[in-house]
Structure formats: C-alpha cells, structure tokens
Amino acid sequence: MVTKVIKSIKIISLITPYSSIFEILNSFHDMQLVFATNNLNKIKEVQALIPEHIRLLSLKDIDCLEDIPETQDTIEGNSIQKAEYVKTHYGYACFADDTGLEVDALQGAPGVYSARYAGEQRNANDNMNKLLDSLQTTAYRAAQFKTVITLLINNEQHTFTGICKGDITNDKMGEKGFGYDPIFKPKGYEQTFAEMDLSLKNSIGHRGKAISQLINFLNTL
C-alpha cells in the first residue's frame, strides 16, 4: 500500500502544482461515510460527534432523493434495511439508524412506528398528542428511546445500540430537539430532551450512545 501511494505521489507531482499535492495527501486521511437520512436534525446531532477525519455525507449529497423503504417490524430490521439499500444502490460505505420510543404502558408502542404513530403524515405534534391521549388514564409513564445503527463498511456489517430510559411527561415542554423530545424526560433529569442543550442531550441520549460506539469502532480502522 505504501509503495502504491509513493508511486501515485510521483505521478501526481509531474502533473499537479505542489500546493495541490498537500491537499491530495490530506485526502488519504479522509473517510467518507454516508449517513442514510434526510433528517437535518439527525445530521446536525451526528456531525457534532463525528471525528474530523471522517467526512459525513447525507443522502442529498449522493443524489439519493427517493424514499428508502422501512418495512421491517423491528427497529433493528429497519436500520439494516436502510443501510443495505444505500450500499446496494449507491455503493458507498454507509450507516443508517432507526429510532423508536418504547412506552411500557403501551406494551412497547409506538416502537418501530414512532415516526408515523398518528398517520403517514409523520407529524411530530400529531404523534405526541396521540401518545399523551393514550396515557391519560395511567400514572405509569416509564419509557425508553432506542437507537440502532447499522454500519456497512469493508464488506462487513456492524450494529450498535443505544438506549435512554426515562418517563413521558404530562405536557410538552421545551422548544429544542425534534420528534418526541418535548414529552420525554430522561431518568435522573428534570428537563425534557427539548429543554436541554444539544451537548447534554448527546452525552446521555440514545443516539449519542449508539454514535459513541460507532465512533469507537471507526477509530480502530
């Protein structure tokens, strides 16, 4: 590998200005990964965690404009399905996540249907309103967020799982975050995810935990 790189440098030096050679050399240290999502909030959260030497690409960056199928009946299954779709159709090393809110009193619902709990319009307020209505008659409000990340790289599949336990509040609180964040209060905290700074949410949250495992793995490559 080193010999090939040296030969490439010699060839490049004959046809490329020296100022550009350093840019090309730096590119050898970059790792391109597609994050299989169009959710800009997710991308913002993950970009705050990904090491600088990894270049994160969105689906838009690779011109993947179609809806990726999410037809599995588990969070794990959807994560794998999305990652495999990008790898098969676009050829990039990639990772995909799927997240669900699992409420004990609802036997784990909405779970894999969290994004479309109130219908295919996938409206966060509609989803929260339906969930709060479903819990009106119970004081037992324990729940957990679960994120599963599937990484496809070097012809291998790796899975990382992050869980954050907490409770569903009686009302929406906070303007930050997205999804069910205004009604989820993580265990040990008096704030909902939607009231927290992004750095705190990342450090204790389900996605942050799963991403941390992903990053630890990527640093071994």
Query: Which positions are annotated as active-site residues?
Result: 98
Phi/psi of residue 217, nearest 5 degrees = -70, -45
